[in-house]
């Protein structure tokens, strides 16, 4: 394990694409983008996902 961080949400279905880790959080209401740099945890962005 290179790094870990604690969060107050459930993260599900993570995937790596274009050198970034993408994961759904908050029961699918948020999309997280995280750097895959093994030296440190770096959040690259977060977007709200609206249900159809």
Specify the pLDDT at position 52.
55
Specify the pLDDT at position 2.
72
Rounded to an integer, what is the distance from CA 21 to the centroid of its chain?
Answer: 6
Quick check: pTM over 0.85? no
Q: Mean pLDDT, the chain, as a whole number?
A: 83
How many degrees, rounded to 5, is the angle at CA 36 between CA 6 and CA 11? 40
């Amino acid at each position: 394990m290179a790094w870990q961080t604690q969060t107050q949400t459930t993260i599900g279905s993570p995937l790596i694409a274009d050198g970034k880790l993408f994961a759904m959080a908050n029961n699918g209401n948020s999309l997280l983008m995280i750097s895959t740099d093994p030296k440190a945890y770096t959040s690259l962005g977060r977007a709200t996902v609206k249900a159809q």
